[in-house]
Every structure is written in C-alpha cells, then in structure tokens.
Structure 1
C-alpha cells in the first residue's frame, strides 16, 4: 500500500510551528508577534490564526520546555522538598514562556495536555529515582507534587493573590518545602 503524501496544510502547519518555536525562543513570549511568526513561515498572518486561533494556542502547540530539574539524589533526603520548591520558583520567575503556558492551560485543553505531559515526562521520573520506586508506583506522588507546584505558581504569578505574592522566597520554601517532602517520601 502506498504511503499517503503529506497534505499541504500539514506542511503549512509545520512551518508555522517551526517559525513559532524560533520566534518564541529568540524574542520571548511577550515580544513574539503573529506577524513575525508568519513572516518567518512565509505566509499571511491570517493563516496563523486560521490554524491556531490565537497566540496563546500557537504557543501551547509549539512549546517545548525543559524544567531543568537538578539531580536531587545527591542531596540529603531531608533537603529535597525545599530544594525542589526553590528550583521551581527559579523556573517560574525566570521563564515567561512557562508562565504563558500555565495561563493558557487553565482555559485550553491542548495547553493543559502539554503541561500534563511536561510533568509526566520530567517530574515523575525524578520522583521515581528519588523514591527508588518504579515510575508507575509514583504517579500519585508526582500528581500531588504537581498540584502543589502548579497551585503555587497559579496563585503567586497568574492570579497574584496578595498574601502569596507578599511571601518572600525563603518563606515559601520554608512553608511549602515540608509539604513536598511529605508528598515525596511519606508512605
């Protein structure tokens, strides 16, 4: 059976995604524009909107994130929760595109799936190594860690709840670290 040749719309969509990745990486989420992405892709900006609907949805489709999780197995077990909170605060504060994905994921299924995939493929394996358990056995732990980290990011950086925004980083690490510690290691 002969293989079906790719449709022209598939090629256009791939060109848009490649251009979007390039522009988001070069200019950041805020500065990247649909016009610039379309120019790099060699198409009209209306085509970008036709395929993706909005800058946020294009971003969610194009997003490739590395949470850059450190090797936490080298730390004393009692310090892992605090180190993880500190690391995630660094990531949320240092990457506007990650924040854009979180904002988009709240209302868009594709972005939510992308965020779930990031946590499943990057956080769950780290937790499995930390706990010495098979990856399948740490799903609940990884889910609870994600709920804490994503909830914190949503409240502090997206909703900007004053009591959470007003906390220093040290206070957040001191208060949230033990919660992650419990999620990671309590049976």
Structure 2
C-alpha cells in the first residue's frame, strides 16, 4: 500500500499569511486601529477571505492573541523563591522578541476593546490557574492569584506598554527583588 502524504492546501498558506499579518498589525497598531482591510492587504489576499476563514476581527484576534506563561522553570524553585522566580519569568516573556510585542498588543487591546478584554481575561485566568496548580498554590486563598496578577500586569503595563521612563530605567535585578518580595508576601500569607 502506498502511503499518502497530506499536501498543503492553498487555503492553509492564505490562513498563515492572514495570521502573520494580523499578529504584526495588532502588535504595531493595537486592536482598535487595525482593520480587516489592512490585514488582507498585508497578507496580499481579498478581505472577504479574512471573514471567510475567521468570521470577524474579534475571532481573528482570538486566534493570534495567545498567552503562554511557559513557567515550567519556576516549578523547581523553593517556595521561598517563587515570588522572584515568577517576576523574573514574566519579565523574560515581556522581553522575548516575539512574545513581548504580542503581550503589549494584547494589553493595549484589553484597554481599548471589550471584545479583546474578554478574550485576554479568559486566557489570563486559565494560564494563572494552570500555573498556580503547577506550583501548588491553587489551594491558597482565592485572593492570592488576583493579587499576584495585579503585580505582574502592573509591571507589564508600566515597564513594557506605557514604558514609563522611571520604571524602564530600573535595573532588572532591582525590579525582580522588589516586586518579587511583594509577590512572595502574597504566597507566604497563606
């Protein structure tokens, strides 16, 4: 019997071009200022194909707005180092050449669009829940996760989205130590 290999469909290449164009434009311009027409133009396809493949701008955003903490490295940390470990890890995600701009786009979109905010809230909640379960923190106070989220999201907003000079200029180790101490206090409060 001859084994058949799947041949890529032309639509697969079009879908990939759409996703890449959307990812780039959402990161550069934000959700609100990016249009289906601009995405189609950047992908060199007809705008009707964007709608055909993804249904709407919101659905397309949901496909490109992905949040992955990938915090497996923090699993091996002693409990008393989790605060600093989480902050260091999150800063690494923000400073990653692909993840950083995507996170900034997601944060900007969440500020300006209820549709994007809903998607990002859902992803962030799932990721935090999975992360806290992995770290053995899921049985703690219901306030622990949300309080940690305020620190991590606030850091991301101030340092990487708004790029407040006083925050950007802080050495990484200072940020890790100071915010890590606050995050650790939430972990230790249990």
Query: TM-score under structure 2 normalisation?
Result: 0.70
Point out where structure 2 has 5 or more consecutive residues left out of the alignment: 1-13
Check conservation: 1:131, 1:184, Cα contact below 8 A: no
* Deviation larger for 142-151 or 115-124: 115-124
- Structure 1 segments (4+ residues) deviating >3 Å: 16-20, 22-33, 42-48, 57-62, 131-134
Q: What is the aligned partner in structure 2 of residue 113 from structure 1? A: 118
Is 1:171 aligned with 2:174?
yes
Aligned residues: 165
- Measured in 2, the distance between the counterparts of 1:17 and 1:140 equals 41
Q: What is the aligned partner in structure 1 of residue 88 from structure 2? A: 86
Is 1:123 aligned with 2:125?
no
Query: TM-score under structure 1 normalisation?
Result: 0.71
- Larger helix share, 1 or 2: 1
Alignment partner of 1:182 out of 174, 179, 185: 185
- Measured in 1, the distance between the counterparts of 2:189 and 2:47 equals 54
Instruction: Tell me the CA shift for residue 139 of structure 1.
Output: 3.8
Check conservation: 2:86, 2:180, Cα contact below 8 A: yes
- Measured in 2, the distance between the counterparts of 1:28 and 1:107 equals 12
Check conservation: 1:106, 1:112, Cα contact below 8 A: yes
Aligned residues: CA RMSD: 3.5
- Measured in 2, the distance between the counterparts of 1:122 and 1:87 equals 14
